[in-house]
Amino acid sequence: MSDRVFILPLWIRLWHWTNAALILLLTITGASLHFADPKLPLVPFELSARIHDIAGLALAALYLVFVVANVVTGNWWQYVPKPGGFVERCKNQIVFYCWGIFRGAPHPYPPTAEANFNSLQQIIYWIVMYLLMPILIVTGLIFLWPDFAPKRVMGMDGLVPVALLHYLTAVLIVSFMIAHIYLGTTGTKVSSLFKMMITGWHEH
Ligand code: HEM
């Protein structure tokens, strides 16, 4: 029997899977809108636009819940990179993912209830959740209510930089998601970390 430690309360697990489902839905409909071809629609344009708007509003509401719950429970602290060898710890984690993992080396910083994330997760999750997600959501909301966009920016229509930022952050979040799912397979067993996100228990 392997050692187990309970690290994920129900609200984090519910938030995580609702967030993942919405991002997947937004990715499919967003790609369908971005690469719209009237002859070859992935999803019909009108339907994609309708689903993308509703899922985007749901994501914005869920993000608000995420921020409030993180403040109220103190979970936001997990995301803050801690000083005292932070760069060294990130380096060790990268070496583990690129080298040690293929030779059966142990995880350099296994999670505990107090320190759920390793340093690399801290910095990447922080960038995704507290930098990219707000940009994605705010630019999406401006698209829904374009009166809030600046009239002109550097001689361009004010919606152009909004569209660019929305697209770029979406590409970064989808790229994160692909790497994130791969890294999700690097637990004790291929399925361990996915199971942990469902049950809350981490297996060492
Ligand atoms: C189908 C898509 C997804 C799958 C299968 C998935 C899977 C996982 C897994 C296995 C973990 C545990 C990783 C570990 O501790 O090493 C995790 C944690 C996490 N994921 Fe995802 N994920 C998905 C989408 C996303 C998306 C889209 C985001 C953000 C935009 C996200 C943000 C997070 C965060 C912040 C955690 C840490 C949660 C915590 O422990 O407090 N995930 N995910």
Q: How far apart are CA 169 and CA 136, in angstroms?
A: 6
Q: Whose CA is nearest to atom 6 of ligand 1?
A: 181
Q: Which domain holds residue 94?
A: 4-203
- Please list the rounded mean pLDDT of every run of 10 residues in the chain (204 residues): 83 98 97 83 86 98 98 97 95 97 94 91 98 98 94 92 97 98 95 97 89
- For residue 202, give the ligand 1 atom closest to its CA: 15
Q: Whose CA is nearest to atom 4 of ligand 1?
A: 181
Ligand 1 centroid distance, CA of 187 (Å): 13
56 close to 26: Cβ distance less than 8 angstroms: yes
Q: Whose CA is nearest to atom 25 of ligand 1?
A: 20
| Per-residue model confidence (pLDDT) at position 35 | 87
To which H or E segment does residue 32 belong? helix 10-34
Three-class secondary structure of residue 6 per DSSP: strand
Ligand 1 centroid distance, CA of 181 (Å): 8
| Per-residue model confidence (pLDDT) at position 43 | 78
Ligand 1 centroid distance, CA of 66 (Å): 13
Cβ(136) – ligand 1 distance below 6 Å: no
CA dihedral 164, 166, 169, 172 (to 10 degrees): -80
Q: Across the chain, which distance is largest between two alpha carbons, in Å?
A: 65
- For residue 173, give the ligand 1 atom closest to its CA: 30
CA 16 to chain centre: 9
Three-class secondary structure of residue 67 per DSSP: helix
Cβ(26) – ligand 1 distance below 6 Å: no
| Per-residue model confidence (pLDDT) at position 41 | 66
Ligand 1 centroid distance, CA of 16 (Å): 6
Could you give the angle at which helices 10-34 and 159-183 cross, rounded to 10 degrees?
130
Token pair in block for residue 110: 């296994």
Q: Whose CA is nearest to atom 24 of ligand 1?
A: 20
| Per-residue model confidence (pLDDT) at position 2 | 55
Sign of CA dihedral 80, 195, 186, 184: negative
Our count of domains for the chain comes to 1
Three-class secondary structure of residue 153 per DSSP: strand
- For residue 21, give the ligand 1 atom closest to its CA: 1
The CATH number of the domain holding residue 136 is 1.20.950.20
Q: How far apart are CA 113 and CA 74, in angstroms?
A: 13
